[in-house]
Structure 1
Amino acid sequence: MRCNAMPVWYHENPAMLHVGVESRRNEYTPFAPGQDPFALKDESSRRILLNGVWDFDGYASLEDLPENWLAIRPRGSMPVPGNWELNGFGKPVYVNVRYPIPYDPPYVPVANPAGVYRRTFQADLSSGMRWLLNFEGVDSCFYVYINGQFLGYSQVTHNSSEFDATPLLRQGENEIMLLVLKWCDGTYLEDQDKWRMSGVIRDVFFLLRPEKRIDRYTVTTVPAGKGMDVHVRLEATAPVTLRLFAPDGTPLPEKTDARGESFFHVEEPLMWSAEKPHLYRLVMETDQERIGEKVGLRTVCIREGVLLVNGVPVKLRGVNRHESDPVTGACISREQALKELLLMKQHNINAIRTSHYPPAPEFLRLCDEVGFYVIDEADNESHGSVDASLTTDNNFDYSGISLLCNRPDYEAAIDDRIHGMVDRDINRPCVLFWSMGNESGYSVAFERSIRKLRAKDPTRLIHYESIHLLKGAPIPNDSADTLDMVSRMYPGLEEIRAYLKRPYETRPFFLCEYCHAMGNGPGDLEAYWQLIYSEPRLMGGCIWEWCDHGIQIGLTDSGEPMYAYGGDFDEPDHDGNFCVDGLVFPDRTPHGGLKEAKQVYRPVRVEQTGQDTFVLRNTRAFTAAQEDLFCRYEVTANGQTVLTGEVALCLPPLGEQAITLPDLAALTGENLFIRFIFTARQDTPWCSAGDVVCFDQLPLSPSLTLPAEPEHLPGPLTVEQTRKGITIAGEGFCHTIDPYTGLPAGMRFGQEQLLDAGMEYNVWRAPTDNDAGFRRSWERFHLQEVAPRVYDMAVTRDDRSVTVTSHASLAWLIHHPLLRMTTTVTVYANGAVAISIDGQVTPQRPALPRFGLRLMLPETFRRAEYTGYGPGDSYADKRRASWWGAFAEEIDQARENHIKPQESGSHTGCVALQVMNDHTAVRIHANAPFSFNFSRYTQEELTRKRHHWELRPSGHAVLCLDARHAGIGSNSCGPALDAAYQLTDQEWHARFCFEPIRLKEV
Structure 2
Amino acid sequence: MFIHRYFEDPQALHINTTPHHAYFIPQKCGQKWENFEPEQSLFYLSLNGYWDFRYYLSPQELPESPNEVNFEAKIPVPSNWQTQGYDRHHYTNINYPFPFDPPYVPQNNPCGIYRRTFELNKKENKHYLLNFEGVDSCLYVYINQTFVGYGQISHSTNEFDITDFVQAGNNEIFVVVLKWCDGSYLEDQDKFRMSGIFRDVYILEREANYLQDFFIRTDLSPNLNNAQIKVETKFLENNQNIDYALYDPSGKLLIQQQTDKFEISFDNPETWNAENPRLYTLIMSYGQEQIVQRLGFRRIQIENGILLFNGQPIKFRGVNRHDSDPVTGYHISRTQAVRDLQLMKAHNINAIRTAHYPNAPWFSELCDRYGFYLIGESDIESHGSSMLAVRQTEPSIFLNVKNSYEHERIRQDNIDNLCYFARDPQFKEALLDRTYANVERDKNRTSVIIWSLGNESGYGENFEACAAWVKSRDPGRLVHYESSIYQHSAHRNDLSNLDFYSEMYAATEDLDAYFANPANLKPFMLCEYSHAMGNSNGDAEDYFQAFHRHPGSCGGFVWEWCDHAPYRDDKPEHFGYGGDFGESPHDGNFCVDGLVSPDRIPHTNLLELKNVNRPVRAWLEQGKVYIKNYLDFTNLKEILTIRYSFSENGKVINQSELQIDCAPHQIQVLDIALPADNGNLCWLNLDYVLTQPTDLLSKNHLLGFDQLIIFKQGALPAQIFKNKTGHFKIQDTAQTLKICQGDFSYELDKNKGIFSRITYREQNLIEQPLDFNIWRAPLDNDRLIRQSWQQAGYDKTYSRAYQINWIEKNEGILIQANLALLAVSQGRILNLAVNYLLGADGQMKISLRATRPEHLPYLPRFGLRFFLPKGQTQGQYFGYGPQESYVDKHHLAKLGIYPLNATDNYVDYLKPQENGSHYGSRYITLNSLHVSADQPFSFNLLPYSQEELTTKAHNYELKESPWDILCLDYKMSGIGSNSCGPNLKEQYRLSETDFNWGVFLQWSNPAR
| TM-score, length basis structure 1 | 0.96
- Let me know the Cα RMSD of the aligned residues: 1.9
CA distance in 2: counterparts of 1:182 and 1:776, whole angstroms = 38
Residues 687-836 of structure 1 mapped to structure 2, 5 A cutoff: 687-701=697-711, 705-715=715-725, 716-750=727-761, 752-836=763-847
User: In structure 2, which of residues 428, 434, 447 is the aligned counterpart of residue 430 of structure 1?
Assistant: 447
Deviations 1:212-268, CA, capped at 9 Å, x for gaps: 2211111111125722012211123443111101111111125799xx943233322
Q: CA deviation at 1:902?
A: 0.5
CA distances 1:668-693 after superposition (whole Å, capped 9, x unpaired): 23322212111111222333222211
In 1, are the aligned partners of 2:418 and 2:488 still within 8 Å (CA)?
no
What is the Cα deviation at residue 834 of structure 1?
A: 1.8
Distance 1:301 1:790 in 2: 68
**8 Å CA contact 1:191, 1:382 repeated in 2:** yes
Distance 2:820 2:582 in 1: 43
Bigger shift: 699-708 or 546-555? 699-708
Give the whole-Å Cα distance in 1 for the aligned partners of 2:751 and 2:658: 59
> Do residues 514 (structure 1) and 521 (structure 2) align?
no
Q: Which residue of 1 aligns with 2:407?
A: none
Task: State the Cα distance separating 1:112 from its structure 2 match.
Answer: 0.8
Distance, in Å, in 2 between the alignment partners of 1:69 and 1:212 is 33
| Structure 1: distance between partners of 2:677 and 2:638 | 32
Paired with 2:78 and 2:261, the residues of 1 have a C-alpha distance of 42
Task: In structure 2, give the amino acid aligned to 1:686.
Answer: L
Select which of 915, 934, 939 maps to 1:932.
Answer: 939
Amino acid at match of 2:515: L
In 2, are the aligned partners of 1:73 and 1:118 still within 8 Å (CA)?
A: no
- Tell me what 1:525 maps to: 540
Deviation track 1:547-589 (CA, whole Å, cap 9, x = no partner) reads 0001123799xxx951100010111211000000000000010
Residue equivalent to 1:129: 126
Give how far 1:394 is off: 6.3
Match of 2:14 among 18, 24, 29: 18
Aligned to 2:668: 657
Distance 1:959 1:607, change over 3 A: same
Alignment partners' CA distance in 2, 1:431 and 1:45: 29
The structural deviation recorded for 1:923 is 0.8
Deviation at 1:77, TM superposition (A): 2.1
Q: Which residue of 2 aligns with 1:329?
A: 329
CA–CA distance in 1 between the matches of 2:963 and 2:270?
61
For residues 202-213 of structure 1, what are the structure 2 equivalents within 5 Å?
A: 202-213=199-210
Is 1:570 the counterpart of 2:582? The answer is: yes
Amino acid at match of 2:592: V
- Look up the match of 2:471: 454
Partner of 1:82: 79
- Pair 847,364 (structure 1): closer, same or farther in 2 beyond 3 Å: same
SS of match in other structure, 1:676: strand
Shift of residue 127 of structure 1?
Answer: 4.5
Whole-angstrom distance in 2 between the partners of 1:603 and 1:592: 19
Correspondent of 1:483 among 498, 506, 518: 498
Q: Is 2:462 aligned against 1:445?
A: yes
Are the equivalent residues in 2 in contact too, given 1:444–1:473 (CA < 8 A)? no
Q: CA deviation at 1:6?
A: 6.2
User: Which residue is equivalent to 1:108?
Assistant: 105
2:338 alignment partner in structure 1: 338
Contact 2:207 2:287 in 1 (8 A): no
2:660, 2:670 within 8 Å by CA — same for their partners in 1?
no
Q: Is the 8 A contact 1:273 1:371 kept in 2?
A: yes
Task: Give the Cα separation in 2 of the matches to 1:72 and 1:575.
Answer: 36
1:550 paired residue among 548, 556, 565: 565
Once the two structures are TM-superposed, the CA of residue 872 in structure 1 deviates from its matched residue by: 0.7
After TM superposition, give the deviation of residue 534 of structure 1 in Å: 2.2
Per-residue displacement from partner, 1:442-481 (whole Å, max 9, x unpaired)?
A: 111111121111111011011110101222152346xx32
Q: Work out whether 1:860 is the aligned partner of 2:868.
A: no
Q: Could you report, residue by residue, the CA deviation over 1:354-406 in whole angstroms, capped at 9, with x for unpaired residues?
A: 01000001111111111100000000101111233256676584754312211
Aligned residue for 1:374? 374
User: Deviations along 1:152-173, whole A, 9 cap, x unmatched?
Assistant: 0000001001001111112211
Shifted more, 10-19 versus 747-756: the winner is 747-756
Q: Indicate conservation of the 8 Å contact 2:218/2:228, yes or no.
A: yes
Quick one: which of 235, 238, 241 aligns to 1:239? 241
SS at match of 2:437: helix
2:484 to 467, 472, 479: 467
- Compute the displacement of 1:23 (Å): 1.1
Deviation per residue, 1:677-724 (Å, 9 max, x gap): 111112223332222111111222357732221232122111012345
- The aligned residue for residue 230 of structure 1 is 229
- Matched to 1:156, the amino acid is I
Structure 1 letter corresponding to 2:976:
G
More off after superposition, 518-527 vs 390-399: 390-399
Deviation at 1:862, TM superposition (A): 3.3
CA–CA distance in 2 between the matches of 1:34 and 1:947? 56
SS of the residue corresponding to residue 446 of structure 2 reads coil
Contact 1:83-1:197 within 8 A present in 2 as well: yes
Give yes or no for the alignment of 1:682 onto 2:692.
Answer: yes
Task: Tell whether the 8 Å contact from 1:252 to 1:266 is kept in structure 2 after alignment.
Answer: no
Residues 342 and 686, structure 1, Cα contact 8 Å, conserved in 2: yes
C-alpha separation between the residues in 1 aligned to 2:870 and 2:160?
66
Cα offset, 1:983, TM superposition = 1.0
Q: Which residue of 1 aligns with 2:193?
A: 196
How does 1:636-647 map onto structure 2 within 5 Å? 636-647=647-658
Q: CA deviation at 1:913?
A: 1.3
Show the counterpart of 2:53: 56
Are the aligned partners of 1:820 and 1:842 in contact in 2 as well (CA < 8 Å)?
A: no
Partners of 2:1007 and 2:118 in 1: CA distance: 76
Q: For residue 32 of structure 2, what is the aligned residue in structure 1?
A: 36
* Structure 1 residue matching 2:784: 3-state secondary structure: helix
Aligned to 1:878: 889
Q: Aligned letter for 1:523?
A: G
Q: What is aligned with 1:993?
A: 1000
Distance 1:1000 1:946, change over 3 A: closer
TM-score (norm 2): 0.95
Listed one character per residue, the Cα deviations across residues 809-835 of structure 1 (whole Å, up to 9, x for unaligned) are: 211221112112222222112221222
Deviations 1:467-518 (A, max 9, x none): 01222152346xx321111111011111111110222221111110110110
Give per-residue Cα distances to partners, 1:622-672, cap 9 Å, x unaligned.
Answer: 1111111001222222212233233331111222212353343x2323322
Would you say the 8 A contact 1:731–1:830 is kept in 2? Answer: yes
Could you give the per-residue CA deviations for residues 411-459 of structure 1, whole angstroms, max 9, x where no partner exists?
1101110111100000000001000000011111111121111111011
Q: Which runs of 5 or more residues in structure 2 are unaligned?
A: 400-414
Contact persistence 2:52–2:71 (CA under 8 A): yes
Report the equivalent of 2:617: 605
Moved more, 827-836 or 67-76: 67-76
- Mapped to 2, the partners of 1:76 and 1:462 lie a distance apart of 46
Maintained 8 Å contact 1:516/1:581: yes
Cα deviation for residue 799 of structure 1 reads 4.2
Q: What is the one-letter code of the residue matched to 1:213? A: Y
Partner of 2:854: 843
Mapped to 2, the partners of 1:861 and 1:522 lie a distance apart of 33
Given candidates 217, 241, 251, the residue that maps to 1:249 is 251
User: Kindly tell me: are residues 199 and 520 of structure 1, through their superposed partners in 2, closer, same or farther at Cα, counting changes over 3 Å?
Assistant: same
Q: What CA distance in whole angstroms lies between the structure 2 residues aligned with 1:287 and 1:75?
A: 44
- Show structure 1 runs of 5+ residues with no match: none
1:253-332 correspondence to structure 2 within 5 Å: 253-254=255-256, 261-332=261-332
The change in CA–CA distance for 1:463 and 1:703 in structure 2 (over 3 A counts) is farther
1:896 equivalent in structure 2: 907
Matches of 1:744 and 1:561, distance apart in 2: 43
Retained in 2: the 8 A contact 1:56–1:77?
Answer: yes
Which of these residues, 410, 414, 431, is aligned with residue 427 of structure 2?
410
